[in-house]
Amino acid sequence: DPVTPVKARALPLPEPAALMATQCYVTPAKERQQRNVWPSDCDAIFRRHVRCVAGGPGQPQIVHLKDRTSIGRCESNDLVLESRLTPQMISRSHAELLREKEGGAWRIYDRKSTNGILVNGKPASEGQSLLPGDIVTFGVKTSLPEFDYVFETRPGSGGGAAASPSGKADASDDEAWMRPQQPETQGT
């Protein structure tokens, strides 16, 4: 016997307010402090910047820094960086990060690399001090960054706990994400 199709009936649409509702949950400061445990025994880290393109083994998300950390593409470095997009971006012995003394300032040195180092978008001076929140770029600035790292220090460890001169929020600024950010200007 032939089957007669039944006319479908439309389902009621959800309330307009339910479609447009936005929820925002802010974790209380005390709970955030309990969760924000420092990731290691070291006093400083490089955290890969969120704007970096997808990484791989030669592009670690978090780097635990020693008082003396060598950086480059050669396997003998403490931090080995490898570019998937531009293999010659990182020199064999690109940079060195040194802590002056226990609880002292952290300084970055260019080891005569081909493409240099930028701190907050500007060429790094020799032995430039790093402050929490500074963005360190190994190599030149590109439209698809691979090697932008945010410098962070353990809270209370010394070594430049002041706010960054770049005006960027450091890791201890709990409510920075809620404030409007100034767009980065090029060529300044």
| Domain count within the chain | 1
Rounded to the nearest 5°, which phi and psi values hold at 182?
-80, 135
Residue 89: inside a domain: yes
Number of C-beta neighbours around residue 128 at 10 A: 18
Q: Is residue 140 part of a domain?
A: yes
Scan for tokens 């500074």, then name that residue. Answer: 134
Task: Kindly state whether residue 102 falls inside one of the protein's structural domains.
Answer: yes
Instruction: Give the structural domain span for 84.
Output: 40-156
Domain-embedded: residue 19: no
- 175 falls within a domain: no
- Whether residue 179 lies inside any domain: the answer is no
pTM, 2 dp: 0.64
Q: What DSSP string runs through 11-56?
A: PPPPPHHHHH--------HHHHHHH---SSSSSEEEEE-TTSPP--
The verdict on residue 68 lying in a domain is yes
Q: Is residue 1 part of a domain?
A: no
* Rounded distance between C-alpha atoms, residue 129 and residue 181, angstroms: 24
Q: What is the pLDDT along the chain (188 residues), one digit of tens a residue?
A: 777 777 777 777 666 655 555 556 666 666 655 555 666 788 899 999 988 887 677 788 889 999 999 999 999 999 999 888 888 899 999 999 999 987 789 999 999 999 999 999 999 988 999 999 999 999 999 888 889 999 999 887 665 544 334 444 444 444 544 455 555 555 54
The residue with tokens 């039944």 is 6
Here the CATH number for the domain that contains residue 120 is: 2.60.200.20
